[in-house]
Amino acid sequence: MKYVAMIYGNQAKWDSFPAEAWPEAIAKQEAFNRKYRESGELLGAYGLADAAAAQLVRRKDGAPAVTDGPYLETKEYIASFYLLDCESLERAQQIAADMPFADVEPVELWPVLHESAADM
């Protein structure tokens, strides 16, 4: 079964993180990614840009209508997400709990209920 694991954040949180701590944090995250890619359980890991770079796209009169910013006014937004393929919910929970910052920040875990083949 596939799961999406999401981590939330905001620019203030990233700005408060000491600059000298970033290399170690990134190394821990890359080690996590490598460990679960090698096991075949991590299908993809994606870090998102700051919410200021987000756009909303709607269709108006058959053409894209684009506006700036995320839809919701929120203090935190999705900072990164991971696509997992696990034998069980319990295994997905173990992997989510193994994420480098899971001891200080929650990881939101969602089952993927539908998948459309990308190669069709």
pTM of this structure: 0.83
Give the domain ranges of the chain.
Answer: 2-47+73-111
As a CATH number, domain 2-47+73-111 is 3.30.70.1060
Query: How far is residue 72 CA from its own chain's centroid?
Result: 18
Report pLDDT for 5. 97
Tokens, residue 32: 């996590």
pLDDT tens across 20-71, in order?
A: 998 999 999 999 999 999 999 999 999 888 777 888 888 999 999 998 866 6
Determine the Cα–Cα distance for residues 79 and 59; give it in Å rounded to an integer: 26
